[in-house]
Amino acid sequence: MKVLDHLEEWLIAFLIGGATLLIFVAVFHRHFAGWAIPGLQDWLLGVNFSWAQELCIIMFVWMAKFGAAYGVRTGIHVGVDVVVNRLSEKKRVKFILFGLLAGALFTGTVAMLGGRFIWDNGMHYASLHLLGMDPGDVPEGPTTPDLEWPTWIVYSAIPLGSSLMCFRFLQVAWNFFRTGELPHHDHSHVEGLDKHPEMEVNPYGMDDNLHPHDTKHQMMGDDSTDKKGGRR
């Protein structure tokens, strides 16, 4: 499972970094190609970057699909669960499991429909061609305008990303069923730092792994209670 987690993170990081670098190079090219510098302008005008925008869009779409699966695994998706938090513990568990399984059903359905779509959009033809079989009347499928890539490859982000997201929903649901814990993203944590900075108030303090029940903030290091057992 750790291998899949790392592959997911590396893919997202590669897509973000690659798209950012590509946008920077494309803007640099467009800007300096307008400067009347002998030699440099002619060279820049000879470099074709008309495909950069299309590739950036494709990379961001793939990043969004796999980033959504990463969000389910790490618990960074925004959730409105005011009503759920007010339920009894037994009912709350049922509602949370229902929500996670509903998410798995929805993303699994999208994955199946997306797989059928790319199969009819050129993947069937590509598979027959790869195996050396006669495709017959099977359509080859369209290509993208600038890069001229088969669109079924680009649209593969839908079944692949949705399948991974469905798996993450089931993974979170199973872990919650066994342990009662949900993934929680700590917004105050910074990667590479072992300790959190000193704070007088913890705005992210909560009684469970969901959202805070109220707007009161728990004081860092203050575990004292009043006579009735409540917080000060």
Residue 196 lies inside a defined structural domain of this protein: no
Q: And the tokens for 188?
A: 């105050």
Residue 51 CA to residue 61 CA, distance in Å, equals 16
> Which amino acid belongs to residue 137?
D
On the question of pLDDT at 60 being above 90, the answer is: yes
Residue 229 banded pLDDT, cuts 50, 70, 90: very low
pLDDT in tens, 82-92: 888 888 888 99
C-alpha 182/C-alpha 229 separation (Å) is 27
pLDDT recorded at residue 2 = 86
Q: What is the mean pLDDT of residues 202-207?
A: 49
Distance CA 64, CA 15 (A): 10
Q: How many structural domains are present in the chain?
A: 1
Identify whether 223 is part of a domain: no
Is 230 part of a structural domain of the chain? no
What average pLDDT is seen over the chain? 82
pTM here?
Answer: 0.75
Evaluate whether residue 82 is within a structural domain.
Answer: yes
pLDDT category, 164, cuts 50, 70, 90? Answer: very high
Structural domain boundaries, residue 167 = 2-184
